[in-house]
């Protein structure tokens, strides 16, 4: 009886792993040449992988340093280019992650404006006009 249970568990585990290997890889890689903020956390410039963990959560992981962050996102509905594009809002010398679009990775996500970004936006409104910065992702 124990042997049958072990075989059944093994078969179920193999089936689950085979199913996940056919699932689409919801991640993009991007080289970000400036420090940026996401969900109130300042991340340094570098090579990052942005991965969709669940419907409304992404993980941003630095390739070179043990730095990672989770962020809440909302579906965007826009179509991105095949390779992808990552969009930032820029206020002076501060960058805030805004959007991730990639048709290949099936990602169309918007990062909600954080409290830190709203404060920065108000401070910079008196000085400069905000601008949009796009970075190609692979």
| pLDDT of residue 137 exceeding 80 | no
How far apart are the C-alpha atoms of 64 and 37, rounded to whole Å? 18
Query: Which positions ≥6 away from 51 have C-beta within 8 Å?
Result: 26, 27, 58, 59, 61
What size, in residues, is the chain? 138
User: Which tops the pLDDT comparison, 106 or 70?
Assistant: 70
Longest Cα–Cα distance of the chain, Å, equals 75
| pLDDT of residue 126 exceeding 70 | no
| pLDDT of residue 84 exceeding 50 | yes
pLDDT band at 24 (very low <50, low <70, confident <90, very high): low
Average pLDDT over residues 103-117: 90
How far apart are the C-alpha atoms of 136 and 116, rounded to whole Å? 25
Contact 37, 67 (CB under 8 A): no
């Amino acid at each position: 009886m124990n042997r049958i249970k072990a075989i059944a568990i093994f078969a179920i585990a193999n089936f689950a792993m085979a199913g996940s290997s056919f699932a689409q890889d919801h991640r993009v890689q991007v080289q970000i040449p400036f420090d940026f903020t996401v969900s109130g956390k300042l991340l340094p410039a570098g090579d990052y992988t942005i991965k969709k963990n669940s419907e409304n959560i992404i993980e941003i992981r630095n390739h070179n340093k043990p730095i990672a962050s989770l962020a809440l996102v909302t579906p965007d509905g826009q179509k991105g280019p095949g390779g992808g594009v990552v969009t930032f809002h820029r206020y002076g010398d501060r960058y805030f992650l805004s959007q991730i679009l990639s048709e290949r990775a099936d990602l169309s996500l918007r990062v909600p404006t954080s409290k830190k970004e709203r404060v920065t936006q108000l401070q910079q409104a008196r000085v400069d006009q905000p601008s949009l910065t796009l970075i190609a992702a692979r």
